[in-house]
Amino acid sequence: MTVNHMFTQKVAKVDRGMLASYKIANLIAKAGKPHTIGESLIMPAVAVVLSTVMNQSPQEVTSVIPLSNSSVSRRIDEMAADVENQLISKLQVNDFSLQLDESTLPDNSALLMAFVRFLDVDEICQEMLFALKLTTDTKGESIFKKLEVYFENNIPQEHLLACATDGATAMIRRYRDSVLPKKLFLGVMSDGRKAGVCVGVELQVSMEGHNNCWMKRPFAEKV
């Protein structure tokens, strides 16, 4: 066995260990488990299986699979960023409709969630676009600014066909400073199509040139 062959084998094993690290981190994220479980439980379990069932030395395998708390957190962040970038790349070339919702976390901080629905080839897709903390309040002005900043460097506003909210008073003009329905992409279309902000009953947005309905969900009436 040549030195070059030994080096190639070692590199291949490290690459497989890195791939296993990403896959295990993905499982941890899907299960909603603490990131420390990789090092405290999964790695010892892998070692037991290798030594007991496979009759192999576990050190050779476990040493190339990084599963520390920081490694798992970094893998999850990288995969989440990649998924977000893939979604943004689709929204950059496709028209879409937007649904907004705001919620409160256990620490009383406000969270703004955005969901998009768009036509990808011939299939209607619905995905979560983002979940961002509102650092000030949940008024329409704050929500609009947060959206404006997010869209500014990522997604062309002209691709937005309609926006739907959950009917909260801060979003539907019941307060004097509720500017979301007045500002949020109304009249931004330069090619004659109409954007709308809807709350409550059913909102239906059909793609131009297609019979597919982009959004058919219980919202409220158009404002």
Predicted confidence at residue 24, as pLDDT, reads: 95
pTM: 0.67
Nearest-angstrom CA–CA distance, 175 and 93: 36
The confidence score (pLDDT) of residue 55 equals 87
Instruction: Answer yes or no: do 137 and 105 share one domain.
Output: yes
d(CA 180, CA 88): 23
Residues 184/147, Cβ–Cβ less than 8 Å: yes
121 belongs to a structural domain? yes
Within this chain, do residues 138 and 28 fall inside the same structural domain, yes or no? Answer: no
Instruction: Tell me, rounded to whole angstroms, the distance of Cα 156 from its chain centroid.
Output: 18
Query: 136: which DSSP letter?
Result: S
Q: Is residue 144 part of a domain?
A: yes
What confidence score (pLDDT) does residue 71 get?
A: 94
Of 80, 113, 147, the residue that ends a domain is 80
Give yes or no: residues 97 and 76 share one domain.
Answer: no
Domain stop point among 80, 102, 118: 80
106 and 25 assigned to the same domain: no
Q: Give a yes or no: residue 217 inside a domain.
A: yes
- Is residue 103 one of the residues assigned to a domain? yes
What local confidence, expressed as pLDDT, does residue 134 receive?
Answer: 84
What's the pLDDT at 80?
Answer: 92
Residues 28 and 98 in one domain: no
Q: Mark whether 100 and 139 lie in a shared domain.
A: yes
d(CA 70, CA 11): 23
Residue 85 falls inside a structural domain? no
Coil, helix or strand at residue 65: coil
The secondary element (H helix, E strand) that includes residue 151 is helix 140-152
What's the structural domain count of the chain?
A: 2
Which spans in 3-134 are helix H? 3-31, 37, 43-52, 58-62, 69-91
121 and 48 within one domain: no
Statement to judge: residues 200 and 109 lie in one domain: yes
**Is 43 a domain residue?**
yes
DSSP one-letter code for 110: E
Chunk the chain into consecutive blocks of 10 residues (it has 223) and report each block's average pLDDT, rounded to whole numbers: 58 83 95 94 94 89 91 94 92 90 81 90 89 80 83 83 69 45 42 41 36 36 35
Q: What is the CATH number of the domain that holds 176?
A: 3.30.420
Tell me which residue range forms the domain holding 199.
Answer: 92-222
Last residue of a domain, one of 32, 48, 80: 80
Position 116 in a domain: yes
Within this chain, do residues 111 and 212 fall inside the same structural domain, yes or no? yes
* Co-location of 216 and 140 in the same domain: yes
DSSP 162-220: EEEE---GGGTTSSTT--HHHHSSTT--SSS---EEEEEEEE--BPTT---BS--EEEE
Max CA separation in the chain (angstroms): 78
For residue 86, being part of any structural domain is answered with: no
pLDDT at 11: 63
Of residues 176, 175, 171, the one with CA closest to residue 223:
171
129 lies in the same domain as 169 = yes
Put the strands of the sheet holding 110-120 in their side by side order.
Answer: 123-134, 110-120, 96-104, 160-165, 196-203, 217-222
In this structure, the answer to whether residues 18 and 73 fall within a common structural domain is yes
**Count of beta carbons in the 10 Å neighbourhood of residue 40:** 12
